[in-house]
Chain A
Amino acid sequence: DAGVIQSPRHEVTEMGQEVTLRCKPISGHNSLFWYRQTMMRGLELLIYFNNNVPIDDSGMPEDRFSAKMPNASFSTLKIQPSEPRDSAVYFCASSFRGARGYTFGSGTRLTVV
């Protein structure tokens, strides 16, 4: 099992550019979560999916953020246009029914200059 795979590991982009973060959950997991981690705000849930359906996107900061899960093995988080305050580590995590916790990817460190 390769675990949750996120790409890219690091991303540096200029303000105003579109950024797409990618996640491949563990096969068989039916829930997928996107978190953002910053020093100021800690770990924040942005959105999560159950069985590829978005359940709660109340954590998405603004319309510049969007997430999709077209199938059980792939999800994207897109920021357009990006701003310096979006700089953070973005984690993807997946789980199966919850009792055993989540498995996190290695995260994407996004820097917007």
Chain B
Amino acid sequence: AQTVTQSQPEMSVQEAETVTLSCTYDTSESDYYLFWYKQPPSRQMILVIRQEAYKQQNATENRFSVNFQKAAKSFSLKISDSQLGDAAMYFCAYRSAETSGSRLTFGEGTQLTVNP
């Protein structure tokens, strides 16, 4: 079974600074997808960024980018120019691409605080 680990329960960053959230995962599969979801106090789960394991290029979405290290099974999220609205719980998630309609497995989450 796949597992996802987020070793940082809490992180904080100053507004306009850069912060990196860590995620590691364990799998024996070679084809899969990785995601970062954001959950603000409204509790809505919002997809931030996705990465296909077969792609070597790291995904980027505006101020959000990932550092995907397949061999190390590491998938960190970098938030540049942090804004107050980035404050939220961030979840790393794994999904197999080898099984159609497979589940998302989530990490424990990292609570990000943005200080003005």
Contact = CB atoms under 8 A, between A and B. Distances in A.
Chain B interface size range: 20 to 34
A42 interface: yes
A98 B95 CA distance: 8
Contact of A48 (B33, B43, B97, B103): B103
Interface of B: 33, 35, 37, 42-45, 47, 50, 52, 91, 95, 97, 100-109
Interface of A: 30-31, 33, 42-43, 45, 48, 50, 55-56, 89, 91, 93, 95, 97-104, 106-107, 109
Contacts of A97: 100-101
Contacts of A48: 101, 103
Contacts of B106: 42-43
Contacts of B107: 42
B100 A43 contact: no
A100 B47 CA distance: 9
Contacts, number: 57
17 contacts: A30-B101, A31-B101, A33-B103, A42-B107, A48-B101, A93-B104, A98-B95, A98-B100, A98-B101, A98-B102, A101-B50, A102-B45, A104-B37, A104-B44, A106-B42, A106-B43, A109-B43
A42 to B, nearest CB: 5
Contacts of A100: 50
Most buried by A among B42, B50, B105, B106: B106
